[in-house]
Amino acid sequence: MRSPCNRRQFIQSLGAAATSLCLSNRILGSSPPTAPVAVARCRSYGAEVLPTLARMFDQLGGLERLVKGRTVAVKLNLTGSPEGRVAGAPVEVTSWVHPQVIAASVHLLGKAGARRIRLVESAAGTAQPLEEFMRRAGWNPDEFVRAAAGVEFENTNPPGKGGKYCRLKVPGGGRVFSAYDANHSYEDCDVYVSLAKLKEHEEAGVTLAMKNNFGIPPCTIYGEGAGIDEPSQIPSGSRLMLHTGNRQPSKSSPPEINPHSPRDQGYRVPRVTVELAAARPIHLAIIDGVATMAGGEGPWVKRVRAIRPGLLVAGTNCVTTDAVATALMGFDPMADRGTPPFESCDSTLRLAEEFGLGTRDLRRIEVRGIAIAEARFNIRAS
């Protein structure tokens, strides 16, 4: 039996090999990879969430083969402040992934044999423990601890329990950055899960499993108030530098490849998103679309409003999963800049496909559960 360390090295080597194959596919011009995507109706955050997710994971081939005996990092989408509200609604029914979806996912990962489950997020503007950040939203993190054995929390703004930041290198060198420094949790895991919310995004068109990775870079290095030479002790400000290039990360981290490249957010945000999805590959994507928001990614976007699509989406390839979710929102995943939802930005889906991470072509994606045509809703008319 492999030791935990050897298991981690084995899984990471598989991820590196898969990325290498994707890059080879891109260079040779062959088709990007595909994988099935599960879609299900889920009308509320009540008792139906757990059996619905269990059925979806079974449709994808089961979780045991992916997580048994392994350390799993689950990147949550807890964007913005816990106090942020859309028309007074709690954050979990608009901008944050819902705690019921988190608890159900954690339970099923534990049931499938995960040795350790670490919930991670770079909590906005704070170095406080992630559990305290959650409590500010009125959540009880003990519910996640009770959902499975070996549950941990990590606010990934500070270096955390690892004591120092790790370096996630972009295969092939990247376009904006060649590598990103991050909390050890994004490297110190065998399996990485992106647990996202189904939303639109002002600078990326949509924010789904891949865009959730945009929350990996710590604000101590990539925030407006980050240290100049070394990371700051306390995170301050948003990751605006990744959006606009108005400054560089702390000098201890890799600088931009070309500081004279476009400063346009619609150019930079999609490319940074794809680089992060390549540097920290996603093994399992779960998208909460039971209740969400239309018009943007957070309550700071003036035109946003709460909606209830009543959907859950999951897949083992982040591009195919995001492509199906984009189609469910009423958009064409083959669209590009100038066409909804990418009116003012390049398509993250196209860039990820060109990078070799996966296909956005629905003709090549098997949808299990409910068909897209049956589940589709128009997010802009909802």
* Counts for the chain of helices (H) and strands (E), in that order: 12, 14
pLDDT confidence of 300, banded at 50, 70, 90? Answer: very high
Domain ranges of the chain: 4-375
* pLDDT mean over 317-326: 98
User: In sequence order, what are the residues at sequence separation of 6 or more whose Cβ sits closer than 8 angstroms to the Cβ of residue 207?
Assistant: 77, 196, 197, 199, 200, 201, 214, 297
Tokens of 137: 């939203």
Is 194 within 8 Å of 318 (Cβ atoms)?
yes
Tokens of 118: 């670490």
Q: What is the pLDDT of residues 95-152, one digit of tens each?
A: 999 999 999 999 999 999 999 999 999 999 899 999 999 999 999 999 999 999 999 9
Q: Is the pLDDT of residue 174 over 90?
A: yes
Distance CA 292, CA 289 (A): 6
Tokens of 63: 């979780």
The confidence score (pLDDT) of residue 237 equals 87
Q: Cα 216 from chain centroid?
A: 9
Q: What separation in angstroms does the CA of 40 have from each of 51, 209, 316?
A: 11, 17, 16
The confidence score (pLDDT) of residue 16 equals 47
Is 32 within 8 Å of 95 (Cβ atoms)?
no
Distance CA 275, CA 210 (A): 10
* pLDDT mean over 60-72: 98
Q: Is the pLDDT of residue 10 over 80?
A: no
Q: Is the pLDDT of residue 14 over 50?
A: no
Residue 164's φ and ψ, nearest 5 degrees, are -155, 160
Q: What is the pLDDT of residues 354-380, one digit of tens each?
A: 999 999 999 999 999 999 999 999 999
The confidence score (pLDDT) of residue 17 equals 46
Distance CA 64, CA 191 (A): 12
Report the first-to-last Cα separation within the chain, whole angstroms: 52
The confidence score (pLDDT) of residue 183 equals 97
In three-state secondary structure terms, 73 is strand
Is 218 within 8 Å of 156 (Cβ atoms)?
yes
DSSP class of 248: P
pLDDT confidence of 27, banded at 50, 70, 90? Answer: very low
Q: Is the pLDDT of residue 68 over 60?
A: yes
Distance CA 38, CA 56 (A): 6
* pLDDT mean over 56-77: 98
The beta-strand segments (E) located in the chain are 37-41, 71-76, 116-121, 151-155, 166-169, 179-182, 191-197, 199-201, 205-207, 284-289, 292-294, 305-307, 311-315, 367-369
Q: What is the pLDDT of residues 195-237, one digit of tens each?
A: 999 999 999 999 999 999 999 999 999 999 999 999 999 998 8
User: In sequence order, what are the residues at sequence separation of 6 or more whose Cβ sits closer than 8 angstroms to the Cβ of residue 270?
Assistant: 203, 204, 205, 345, 346, 347, 348, 351
Tokens 């018009």 appear where?
295
DSSP class of 6: H
Q: What is the pLDDT of residues 121-135, one digit of tens each?
A: 999 989 999 999 999
Amino acid at 167: R
The confidence score (pLDDT) of residue 26 equals 52
Residue 335's φ and ψ, nearest 5 degrees, are -70, 160
pLDDT confidence of 13, banded at 50, 70, 90? Answer: very low
Distance CA 36, CA 371 (A): 12
Amino acid at 50: L
Distance CA 283, CA 165 (A): 22
Percent of the chain beyond pLDDT 70?
A: 92
Q: What separation in angstroms does the CA of 337 have from each of 89, 346, 353?
A: 32, 5, 15
* pLDDT mean over 173-194: 97
